[in-house]
Amino acid sequence: MDKALVVLSGGQDSTTCLYWAIDRFGADAVDSVTFDYGQRHRVELECAKAVAAFAGVGNTCLPIDTFAALGGDALTDSDIDVESGTDTETGLPNTFVPGRNLIFLTYAAAYAYQRKIDHLVTGVAQTDYSGYPDCREATISALQQSLRLGMESDVTIHTPLMHLSKRETVLLARDLGALPAMALTHTCYNGARPPCGNCAACELRARGFAEAGVDDPLVVAQ
Amino acid sequence: MDKALVVLSGGQDSTTCLYWAIDRFGADAVDSVTFDYGQRHRVELECAKAVAAFAGVGNTCLPIDTFAALGGDALTDSDIDVESGTDTETGLPNTFVPGRNLIFLTYAAAYAYQRKIDHLVTGVAQTDYSGYPDCREATISALQQSLRLGMESDVTIHTPLMHLSKRETVLLARDLGALPAMALTHTCYNGARPPCGNCAACELRARGFAEAGVDDPLVVAQ
């Protein structure tokens, strides 16, 4: 039986991916991992757990303390203002942890290897407005090759959202029956539940639902 | 100025690489990182620190607690006997942490990125008798590509020992003036100083020095 492991952050995109995996592989063949990397908003971890439980799949939380030791990014360093804009030198958002998705997916691949799971699923998207280079298709393709060689595995990294707009992601979630789980997700950069509605993440999410003509269960639920 | 970052474990091979980097880039342009991943023999971390200090380069120890959470390998799990042989299914030594070097090098690349260091140096060798797939040239080459794309960097991974036998590595260390530092290194699987002389790691090291016709300063020093 083909088995799949979903990298589940507790957000909208990874939750959509979880339902994509369940649709494709069956709930019994799907597992999920969540990374506790010192993010300021611990609510993310609770959301991931709640989403996995709601969907009826396992969820393992793996600790990553190395990001905090590397330092210097706004999502783990409370001295940096998330909203203050982009790094003037690199043009990347100051929430950028160099290679963060490479680390997440390499750990996920190690976890999967130990459990004879060949399929990884991640919600990275090239259309992501943040411009993270580790979310691009070429990066994921190169990473898959390095994981296959480095672990002598047949791992395949699936990126169902790679080329979708936020609107299309909402429509996919609807078609997969993922909308009820959306009430359990977390998106807000300010860690607010109900969402603040004003930060870039809230605005992006709201625009996607609006353009899809779908009510956001997270907002409706409040 | 080109700068280099050496992944320094405190062992013979990475110490040789440190001196290779100093020879090529100059001591002022070389930095080192060591990973505290829960290895049973904490002496490794002290050796790395001592070797770096002796060589006059910086050394940063980065914690990795994720390996212990992933579990199941003999180098971090004290319930498993390192000497009991290989995994019967994969044929890999039971000290294998899937993708360990991929993780080390990705973290090293993130650390280097933040400091505008373009050169990584690692002591992995294809001739390593352990058969780790993440030590092979093809893997390192694929990883370099994924790091370049994922971090939008010009990182180059140097592997000076890739095609050297243990004998040739000893001769290289001698030619680079690295032998005095060898007295500060650590190799023994049993964590013994003076080395036990009987484990596979001690035997491999002793054979390399014997075949090179060079006295091992670590053994002589005892």
pLDDT tens readout for residues B76-115: 544 444 444 444 444 444 445 688 999 999 999 999 999 9
Strands A156-158 and B4-7: unpaired
| Cα(B220)–Cα(B181) distance, integer angstroms | 13
Residues of chain B with pLDDT under 70: 72-97, 128-130, 221-222
Q: Which of B62, B106, B114 has its CB closest to that of A102?
A: B106
**Which residues of B fall within a CB distance of 8 Å from A66?**
62-66, 107
Cβ(A98)–Cβ(B110) under 8 Å?
A: yes
Give how far B8 is from chain A: nearest CA, Å.
Answer: 17
Is B150 within 8 Å of A113 when comparing Cβ atoms? no
From the candidate CATH numbers 3.40.50.2300, 3.90.650.10, 2.30.42.10, 3.40.50.620, the one assigned to the domain spanning A4-178: 3.40.50.620
Cβ(B109)–Cβ(A99) under 8 Å?
A: yes
Q: Enumerate residues 6+ apart whose C-beta is below 8 A from B207.
A: B166, B167
Sheet holding A156-158, edge to edge: A58-63, A30-36, A4-7, A119-121, A156-158
Is A62 within 8 Å of B72 when comparing Cβ atoms? no
**Which residues of A fall within a CB distance of 8 Å from B98?**
109-110, 113-114, 151, 153
What's the mean per-residue pLDDT of chain B? 88
Cβ(B181)–Cβ(B145) under 8 Å?
A: no
DSSP state of A32: E
Give how far A125 is from chain B: nearest CA, Å.
Answer: 13
Q: Enumerate residues 6+ apart whose C-beta is below 8 A from A122.
A: A6, A7, A14, A17, A101, A104, A105, A108, A140, A157, A158, A159
The pLDDT of residue A222: 63
Q: Which helix (H) or strand (E) holds A59?
A: strand A58-63
pLDDT mean over A168-190: 95
pLDDT mean over A72-76: 50
The pLDDT of residue B83: 44
Q: Enumerate residues 6+ apart whose C-beta is below 8 A from A27.
A: A55, A56, A57
* DSSP-H helix ranges across B136-199: 137-151, 166-175, 179-182
Q: Which helix (H) or strand (E) holds B22?
A: helix B12-25
For the cut 50, the answer to whether the pLDDT of residue A94 exceeds it is: no
Is A136 within 8 Å of B149 when comparing Cβ atoms? yes
* A133's tokens: 């280079």
What is the value of ipTM here, to two decimals?
0.88
Beta-carbon neighbour count of residue B179 at 10 Å? 19
Collapsing DSSP to helix, strand or coil, B212 comes out as: helix
Is A99 within 8 Å of B113 when comparing Cβ atoms? yes
Q: Which of B65, B110, B139 has its CB closest to that of A70?
A: B110
The pLDDT of residue B115: 93
What's the mean per-residue pLDDT of chain A? 88
* DSSP-H helix ranges across A5-99: 12-25, 43-55, 66-70
**Which residues of B fall within a CB distance of 8 Å from A59?**
none
* B59's tokens: 């050394």
From the list B207, B179, B205, the residue with the least C-alpha distance to B190 is B205
Residue of B nearest to A150 (CA): B134
Is B99 within 8 Å of A111 when comparing Cβ atoms? no
Residue with tokens 């530092």: B181
The pLDDT of residue B129: 57
Residue with tokens 């930095």: B31
Q: Which of A66, A111, A142 has its CB closest to that of B64?
A: A66
Give how far B108 is from chain A: nearest CA, Å.
Answer: 10
A26-35, A49-58, B186-195: least confident range? B186-195
Cβ(A172)–Cβ(A16) under 8 Å?
A: yes
User: Which H, E and C letters describe B80-103, residue by residue?
Assistant: CCHHHCECCCCCCECCCCCCHHHH
**Which residues of B fall within a CB distance of 8 Å from A151?**
98-99, 133-134
**Which residues of A fall within a CB distance of 8 Å from B114?**
70, 72, 98
**Which residues of B fall within a CB distance of 8 Å from A114?**
70, 72, 98
Q: Which helix (H) or strand (E) holds A174?
A: helix A166-175
DSSP per-residue codes, B106-145: HHHHHHHHHTT--EEE----TT-TT--GGGSHHHHHHHHH
Q: Enumerate residues 6+ apart whose C-beta is below 8 A from B133.
A: A149, A150, A151, A152, B92, B139
Which residues of chain B approach chain A closer than 8 Å at the C-beta? 62-66, 69-70, 72, 90, 97-99, 101-103, 106-107, 109-111, 113-114, 133-134, 136, 138-139, 142-143, 145-147, 149-153
Q: Report, at the CATH architecture level, how domain B4-220 is classified.
A: 3-Layer(aba) Sandwich (3.40)
Q: Report domain extents, chain B.
A: 4-220
**Which residues of A fall within a CB distance of 8 Å from B69?**
62-63
Q: Could you read off the pLDDT of B169-182 as tens digits, one per residue? A: 999 999 999 999 99
Q: Could you read off the pLDDT of A134-171 as tens digits, one per residue? A: 999 999 999 999 999 999 999 999 999 999 999 999 99
For the cut 50, the answer to whether the pLDDT of residue A91 exceeds it is: no
Percent of chain A, pLDDT > 90?
69
- Return the ∠ at Cα B80 (arms to B75 and B83), rounded to 5°: 75
**Which residues of A fall within a CB distance of 8 Å from B151?**
98-99, 133-134
Which residues of chain A approach chain B closer than 8 Å at the C-beta? 62-66, 69-70, 72, 90, 97-99, 101-103, 106-107, 109-111, 113-114, 133-134, 136, 138-139, 142-143, 145-147, 149-153
Is B106 within 8 Å of A109 when comparing Cβ atoms? no
Is B102 within 8 Å of A145 when comparing Cβ atoms? no
